[in-house]
Structure 1
Amino acid sequence: MIIDVPIWRNADLIRTIPITRADLNQAISRNDFRPEDTPKPGKPRWYSWRDVVAVAAAQDLRKLGFGPSVAFGLVQEHLSPFLQGRIDAPDDCAGVLWLIRPSDDHLTFEAPCEFLRHTEYEELLIAPNENACIIVNVGRIAARVFNELQATETAKVIRDEFQILGPVI
């Protein structure tokens, strides 16, 4: 059963993605990334699985060499609205590719983007007159992070049961 409410904390994202706490806080405070949940002052922030997928995608863009403002700007401008508007459950991400088309000389968060559903058996063709594009496999990212989040939840349940019942001899 998928519960579509924010249920993960900073520590879960740090462990799952991975991202440092400082980078996550900077993405929110300086790079305009807006998670679905806005906490009240003094309360902890919670993240939905859509937020986790978005942060993981931004981290993948950062691994390609893009700075945090461009990576999180692209996510906030394009990926987050797509996830919130068209994706109801993590399985809905299966086969989704995010095509980012940089301008001739650089990439900005206003870059034209496109989302398409693709199977691994289809060829992805880009017209010869088009610039090369960055392809982010949202489906794989969603599967990876959601599996990690579920494993974290399972480990918590096992740990809690072990503490309640004690070791079995």
Structure 2
Amino acid sequence: MKNRWRTGDLVRAIPIARADLHQAISRDGYRPEYKQEPGKDRWHSWRDAVAIAAAQELRIIGYGPKVAFGLVQNHLSPFLRTKVEQPDDCADVLWLINQLNALIGEKHRCEFVRYADNDAIFIDLNQCACIVVNLGRIAHRILNDLQESEKSA
């Protein structure tokens, strides 16, 4: 498996328009792992592929691009870059996103939980509803799609 992909590879593997991805990078605050060199194509790491796919999942359920990519940039990307060495390390990881009261200044609280198939995730009665993003499933799907596109090329 390659360690990085061009924007075109991601656009084919993740259902995202190229313009939406460029907007996320230029205006919505998302910063890929590798900086683009002037006059060269942008390269994306496997962490970027997982992060962008997760942002698209958030967009599908109704989050706007600024919020979705902001959550990814502020919470998911740091987690992937500091706690996850290999794509397989995403297996069994859930990203829990809690919406908080905007009056206290914090809009979202996020945590990452590793679980086994037999484990149940319990949400405390005092806790608000949360969005559950299955990072393991997203990583597996996207990286398989990228590998398939490598084989067919």
User: With structure 2 as the length reference, what TM-score do the two structures score?
Assistant: 0.94
Aligned to 2:85: 88
Aligned to 2:24: 27
SS at match of 1:101: strand
2:34 to 31, 34, 37: 37
Aligned to 1:8: 5
**Greater share of residues in strand:** 2
Aligned-partner Cα distance in 2 for 1:45–1:64? 28
The structure number with the bigger radius of gyration is 1
Aligned to 2:98: 101
Structure 2 unpaired stretches of 5+: none
Aligned to 2:57: 60
2:69 to 67, 72, 91: 72
Aligned to 1:160: none
**CA displacement at 1:120 relative to structure 2:** 2.1
* Alignment-mate amino acid for residue 59 of structure 2: R
Q: Considering Cα pairs closer than 8 Å and 6+ residues apart, tell me whether 1 or 2 has the greater RCO.
A: 2
Per-residue deviation, residues 100-133 of structure 1 (Å, max 9, x unmatched): 1101479x98511100101221111101111011
**Residues 35 and 42 in structure 2, CA contact (< 8 A), matched pair in contact too:** yes
1:133 aligned to 2:130? yes
Cα RMSD after superposing both structures: 1.7
* Alignment-mate amino acid for residue 72 of structure 1: F
SS at match of 2:44: coil
User: With structure 1 as the length reference, what TM-score do the two structures score?
Assistant: 0.85
Structure 1 unpaired stretches of 5+: 157-169
